[in-house]
Amino acid sequence: MSAVMITRKVRKWEKLPGKNTFCCDGRVMMARQKGVFYLTLFLIVGTCALFFAFECPYLAVHLSPAIPVFAVLLFLFVIAMLLRTSFSDPGVLPRALPEEAMFIEMEIEAANGNVPTGQRAPPRIRNVQINNQIVKLKYCYTCKIFRPPRASHCSICDNCVDRFDHHCPWVGNCVGKRNYRYFYLFTLSLSMLTIYIFTFDIVHMVMREFLLFLIRRDTQFTVLEVLVCFFTLWSVVGLTGFHTYLISLNQTTNEDIKGSWSGKNRVQNPYSHKNIIKNCCEVLCGPTYPSVLSVVIAASAPFQNVVLRLQKTTAPLIPNEHTPDDAKPSIAASAEKSPSPREEHPPAPKVPPLASPETDVEDKTH
């Protein structure tokens, strides 16, 4: 037993169960499979690089220098939105701690009464009235919570996400409450960028001699760009249109696929303001919700005294982890004890975030 001075703050995300990966001191959060995200990045950066290298010199001279300038701005905006969408916390709901889980279980048992053995227990559903509609809240067996309205469990990331839209492999992350507007702006700006590049490629091809274009070696890249843009256009523009439709109705992709609000026998969407402008404003200009994962919790008492016990926190992948606060001996006896390798690391220095992920101002809340 050694005396250990613990004043390091353990961030909640370090102990988060679920299949996410974190880096940059928790500022970047993504799903585990990132292959398709790298492909997206490669396609966008690659096509734009070809555009700047082969089209822009000609267009800047013969048409206007504003063309490449605007393209650069648009490209930077697209990349910023992509990184924001990919790296942000989509609105993950942390799992219930053991006391909370038990409290809910007891409430459920009290409500159900005695279930005869052999009979299946009734499904765990809570009914809530929202805007004069009855909405059913389902219980999540993994996270041990009743999911808030519009939340859903993503099986790929193994988390419940608030206002879950869908899991997008192209951005390598879930799209939920916190990053939906970045996702929408990404698809919108990417549509614009694709149309822009496509248009100016055609203009370039027309301004030079069109027929010679296909056989000249140095113009084969233009043809490549046109092909990439052509195929991208159909998918991205279509997706943007679909999400514009969803936003105007204040629906999520998840609700649309499940048909939650469609059909005569079903409940009408209680979240819609029945006004397109209001719906758009709420989704796109609403408040920026904080990430509850970034809340820093003290690994030990904030005294200056030396803590005369070996502080042990569990490995990150064990679910329903106690916060270290609760692991104190006077509290729950069920605190698990196993060494965590992260305890040895010194606190990471404050580095300005690389891309546009989590703001580190959550620390200022304390």
Q: List, by residue number, the catalytic residues.
A: 168
* C-alpha triplet 138, 143, 148: angle, nearest 5°: 40
Q: Does residue 97 interact with other proteins by CB under 8 A? A: yes
What's the min distance (Å) between Cβ of 278 and other proteins? 9
User: Mask of contacts with other proteins, 152-191, x by CB under 8 A?
Assistant: ----------xx------------------x--x------
Binding flag, residue 117, other proteins (CB under 8 A): no
- Determine if 227 is a binding residue for other proteins (CB under 8 A): no
- Three-state SS sequence of the chain: CCCECCCCEEEHHHHCCCCEEEECCCCEEEECCCHHHHHHHHHHHHHHHHHHHHHHHHHHHHCCCHHHHHHHHHHHHHHHHHHHHHHCCCCEECCCCHHHHHHHHHHHHHHHCCCCCCCCCCCCEEEEEECCEEEEEEEECCCCEECCCCCEEECCCCEEECCCCEEECCCCEEECCCCHHHHHHHHHHHHHHHHHHHHHHHHHHHHCCHHHHCCCHHHHHHHHHHHHHHHHHHHHHHHHHHHHHHHHHCCCHHHHHHCCCCCCCCCCCCCCCCCHHHHHHHHHHCCCCCCHHHCEEECCCCCCCCECCCCCCCCCCCCCCCCHHHHCCCCCCCCCCCCCHHHHCCCCCCCCCCCCCCCHHHHHHC
Stretch that binds other proteins, among 59-67, 192-200, 341-349, 354-362 (CB under 8 A): 354-362
Region near other proteins per CB under 8 A, out of 226-234, 258-266, 277-285, 341-349: 277-285
Contact call for residues 246 and 253 (beta carbons, < 8 A): yes
Does 130 engage in binding with other proteins (CB under 8 A)?
yes
Find the angle CA(253)-CA(254)-CA(256) to the nearest 5 degrees: 60
According to DSSP, the β-strands at 296-298 and 9-11 are antiparallel
Q: How near is the Cβ of 174 to other proteins at its closest, in Å?
A: 16
Nearer to other proteins (CB atom), residue 202 or residue 298: 298
Q: Does 9 contact other proteins by CB under 8 A?
A: no
Give the nearer residue to other proteins in terms of CB position, either 16 or 30.
16
282 binds other proteins (CB under 8 A): yes
Site size toward other proteins (CB under 8 A) is 63
Contact residue for other proteins among 48, 93, 171, 174 (CB under 8 A): 93
Q: Which is nearer to other proteins, 167 or 177 (CB)?
A: 177
With contacts defined by CB under 8 A, name the span among 64-72, 103-111, 223-231, 253-261 that binds other proteins. Answer: 103-111
- Cβ proximity to other proteins, 161 vs 226, nearer residue: 161
Nearest 5 degrees, angle CA 37-CA 92-CA 24? 55
Tokens of 197: 């590049």
Task: Report 11-70 residues binding other proteins (CB under 8 A).
Answer: none
Q: Decide: is 87 part of the binding site for other proteins (CB under 8 A).
A: no
Instruction: Give yes or no for residue 203 binding other proteins (CB under 8 A).
Output: no
Sheet of strand 133-140: strand arrangement:
125-130, 133-140, 145-146
Q: Exactly one of 323, 336, 340, 342 binds other proteins (CB under 8 A); which one? A: 323
Site stretch for other proteins (CB under 8 A), options 46-54, 101-109, 240-248, 253-261: 101-109
Nearer to other proteins, 65 or 149 (CB): 149
Nearer to other proteins, 84 or 167 (CB): 84
Q: What residues make contact with other proteins under the rule CB under 8 A?
A: 76-77, 80-81, 84, 93-94, 96-97, 99-100, 102-104, 106, 110, 128-131, 135, 137, 145, 148-150, 162-163, 182, 185, 270-271, 281-282, 284-290, 292, 295, 297, 301-303, 323, 325, 328, 330-333, 352-353, 356, 359, 361-362, 364-366
